[in-house]
Structure 1
């Protein structure tokens, strides 16, 4: 059984679809809706030629499918009839007829199951999250959210992305990138920020800073290395952001877990993408 998701630009139009198929011992493909439809057509027409036409399949492809199903099922699902005009016809065996009936029942149960899944709240958000979890990137910081606003410029655009905890990340990307990604308010997107692009500040009150992004939180841990240290800042809402600073800077600033800190990075350091 396989469920497939089809996403539209508008998340409210997201629908869930699925396909049911059967596998024989060893994982070999026995049949799905197309092959079951062929068996049902054979039962109706009593002729593999007419059945193939009914399901829009070539005569050879129909016989190949029948022979494959007969072999994999361990017993014939379709049998030839001797005599008659044109040398006889074909019919379903008792096992073949039972398989068609059973598949129809399973298909109806599967349809109801998929419909029930499709009515679950938050389907679109969960789909985007699963796609983001499968994403592989070298950027240490990955944030999933939704576009809140887009300000278009002649060359570059400003994209504001709302992330976990109600915070926002501002990115400056080319106008062509905005168009090709289909970025607009309400669209799910992710922001990537390298740890080396993040500056850690412990005192920003009253300071005037050129960095557009300023995410305030509390230092969760400091992991020292031979030259650099990785500083992880816990953000409101459960998110985190990592920064790479020199070992001397970490020591000089007295960075330790539990200390309030702010992660600073330029809007031009943010890479924006779309899930899936």
Structure 2
């Protein structure tokens, strides 16, 4: 599952993770273990997967601390910061992880063979992990290319829609087209809340009813339910909450700049 934006936020993946009790070893850290096995050093492994040397060491320490047995054994004195090898237990872990990844891929293919791609898409959207509080699934309604950027309009539940401005390169990388399923993601802190539509350069004004307001010491979380059923979460200051006098049941609009909307698609 790839995510693109004009800020080059990188790629998100549907992850497989390993758990030791309550502690989870992420897919990225498992890839680090595989890289250690291939390169024979922490520094080489870090470089191979695009991780800093310190972050790699911290990750290895965390893995060794959480596992029942040592997973990585360091060998001091080697070139490039010393060597490192996987223990027999570590080799067994990455072998098992590789088999599980293959099984996961086969499961996805099985869904597709049974012609229920729409369910696969929904499962991926539910399982996708991102720091953005607002993630909406929809279908591209229109796509207008400019000299540098493109305007993408995504149809959401009901008649709601959201507009994003992304680079033409991102459009090409994701192979965007009208009718293609996609995701829209917006950070809660990027959203302005208004009791009604307002004159603004922001392309998106999503209006509905306040579902709930959760007060904090500095900021408040405001959740607006749109007519189509989607929930939009905004983080605003406590001062703004008090001046607006927002409470559950009130009408409100979420004001969002098109440049603050990230578009993502399934691979």
CA distance in structure 2 between the partners assigned to 1:271 and 1:147 by the alignment = 13
| Cα displacement string for residues 12-44 of structure 1 (whole angstroms, at most 9, x for unaligned residues) | xxxxxxxxxxxxxxxxxxxxxxxxxxxxxxxxx
Q: Partner of 2:213 in structure 1?
A: 222
4+ residue segments displaced more than 3 Å? none
Whether 1:180 and 2:176 are equivalent positions in the alignment is no
Show the 5 A alignment for 1:180-199. 180-199=173-192
Quick check: 1:148 aligned with 2:141? yes
RCO higher in structure (CA 8 A, sep ≥6): 2
Query: Counterpart in 2 of 1:213?
Result: 204
**Is 1:250–2:241 an aligned residue pair?**
yes
- Segments of structure 1 that go 5 or more residues without pairing to the other structure are 1-113
CA distance in 2, matches of 1:212, 1:142: 18
Shift of 1:208: 2.1
Deviations 1:227-269 (A, max 9, x none): 0000000112221000011001101110100000000000000
Q: Is contact 2:223-2:231 (8 Å) kept?
A: yes
CA–CA separation in structure 1 for the residues paired with 2:126 and 2:171 = 23
Work out whether 1:273 is the aligned partner of 2:264: yes
Residue 118 of structure 1 is matched in structure 2 by: 114
TM-score w.r.t. the length of structure 1 is: 0.55
Aligned to 2:64: none
Matching residue of 1:163: 156
**Over residues 97-154 of structure 1, what are the superposed CA-to-partner deviations in whole Å (9 max), with x where a residue is unaligned?**
xxxxxxxxxxxxxxxxx79x826xxx22221111111110000000001111110111
Q: Distance in 2 between matches of 1:171 and 1:194?
A: 13
Please say if residues 156 and 228 of structure 2, whose CA atoms lie closer than 8 Å, have aligned partners that are also in contact.
no
Is 1:133 the counterpart of 2:133? The answer is: no
Alpha-carbon shift at residue 162 of structure 1 (Å): 0.5
Q: Which has the larger radius of gyration?
A: 1
Matched position secondary structure for 2:158: helix
- Residue in structure 2 matched with residue 42 of structure 1 by the alignment: none
CA contact (8 A) 2:125 2:137 kept: yes
SS at match of 1:154: coil
- CA distance in 1 between counterparts of 2:259 and 2:215 reads 28
Provide, for residues 176-232 of structure 1, a one-character-per-residue CA deviation record: whole Å limited to 9, x for no partner.
00000111001111000000010000032xx42211001110000000111000000
CA distance in 2, matches of 1:201, 1:275: 33
Equivalent-residue separation in structure 1 for 2:189 and 2:199 (angstroms): 22
SS at match of 1:166: coil
